[in-house]
Amino acid sequence: MATPTDEGRREGATETHQVTGRTSEANRASVTSPASRPDPVGEGSLRAPTRHPLDWRNPAFYDEHALTKELERVFDICHGCRRCVSLCQSFPTLFDLIDESPTMELDGVNKKDFSKVVDHCYLCDLCFMTKCPYVPPHEWNVDFPHLMLRAKAVKFQKGDTKLRDRLISSTDTVGKFAGIPIVVQTVNASNKTKIFRKALDKVLGVHPDAILPVYHSRTFRKRYDNAAASGDATPTASTHGRVALYATCYGNYNEPQVAEDLVAVFRHNGIPVTIAEKEQCCGMPKLELGDLEAVARAKEANIPVLAKLVDEGWDIVAPVPSCALMFKQELPLMFPDDPDVQKVKRAMFDPFEYLMLRHKEGKLNTDFKQSLGKVAYHVPCHLRVQNIGLKTRELLQLVPDTKIETIERCSGHDGTYAVKSEFHAASMKICRPVVDRVKASECDHYSSDCPMAGHQIENGLKTGKQPEHPMSLLRVAYGI
């Protein structure tokens, strides 16, 4: 039985840097000649992971032969490690393919089956951020999520994408249509009808047991009162003290109450809040589909508007973690030389991150009127990878007579993965430990910063008890 050598696993590292944007001679030398570096990085390094820009405009990024070679290199490293087996379905799928192959090594796996591993990756980033010992600056340069993104982009460019996937990732289009007053009642009612859901499963591949989002004709942008957008701001060392809310398509069309609660809480803390003149989807659903040109179009629609607000002295917050992460990480890696993208990156905050930054300087209102009891709090993956700590937990713990039980496990939802017929069972399996923890906690409330993760937990509980967003809980605690 052949066992790949370390040299074999290192082979191809230079090519990886080239397609992720790290193309200078000095950087290539640092990969091919690790001994020449004054500070070599080995497994178990205490240095922070490094994310390289995505060189997605480079034709080499879409070279199938080069992609397959890099998939082989990285999959072989994963096979020899297996630390990520419990994170998502990508890794068990890979390891089963290897273990059931004639050689029980990667060389026995049909390369056509590599797509099965790719399809199960929903770019949660936890393998990169919490498990993998070979991420950059390690010489093996493993960035599993962005390799999967590259594979998805190649698949999309080939036209090998289902109509369903194109449709459910077009969140603005679906939201505008489903939110039409005459249509919205029919859509919401149909999504709860067994006959319709069975038909939707057969025709489109949307699982009948998946919880689908509710749509509103009275969107957040229609509800928003701009009367209090002006007013005196109290800056701190790290905040301007006035906020522009990027409501997100989900916060606008599906759960406008969360955005309303955010505005109420921020204004209760003396923070003027406005909204962007216009906005589109952040592009995360299209990123996960591999439609990078659609991501670029969303960027061209959003960044100029948000950058103008930053120039006017506004900080920016987004109520959905994946949307904030898009502006904090993915767009800056796709457009590293765009100064406006970098400007928005520096001004983008998670709402609880923002409030806790102000609390450090005594600017948070801590006059809470009501305790919350016991809260089972799920930390979404796209919040964890922002590297800001558990700010939601820290703030909710300030509420008197409130106990927070923190659950740091993936919910398996991802916005689209959990609703797809072929992946729903896997998504619920991933969520099962979260559901078990919520059940065992016997909590008064269960909550997640990601509304979709909250509904995934709801789907696992099957008690009829609804999730409550942390911002909604904070509004209750304030009594406003």
The mean pLDDT values, 10 residues at a time, for the chain of 480 residues are 46 47 35 41 68 93 95 94 91 94 92 94 90 90 94 93 88 85 90 93 94 91 75 88 91 92 94 89 92 95 96 94 94 96 96 96 94 96 91 96 94 90 94 96 95 95 94 96
Structure tokens belonging to residue 47? 């240095």
Q: Taking Cα atoms as reference points, which of 432, 437, 468 lies closest to residue 451?
A: 468
Q: Burial, 23: exposed, middle or buried (Cβ in 10 Å; 0-12, 13-18, 19+)? A: middle
**8 Å CB contact between 269 and 365:** yes
* Number of other CB atoms surrounding residue 155 within 10 Å: 18
Residue 19's pLDDT is 55
Burial of 302 (0-12, 13-18, 19+ CB in 10 A): buried
Instruction: Label residues 192-203 b or e (16+ Cβ within 10 Å = b).
Output: eeeeebeebbee
Mention every residue, 6+ apart, whose C-beta is less than 8 A from residue 219.
175, 179, 252, 253, 256
Distance set, CA 59 to CA 212, 287, 339 (Å): 38, 18, 24
Q: Which two tokens stand for residue 159?
A: 């036209």
**Residue 294 token pair:** 């659609």
Q: What is the three-class DSSP state of 241?
A: coil
In this structure, what DSSP letter does residue 131 have? I
- If we measure between CA atoms, which residue out of 350, 272, 270 comes closest to residue 316? 350
Q: What is the model's pLDDT at position 15?
A: 46
State the pLDDT at residue 230: 67
Element housing 433 (H / E) = helix 424-441
Residue 62 is given by DSSP the state: G
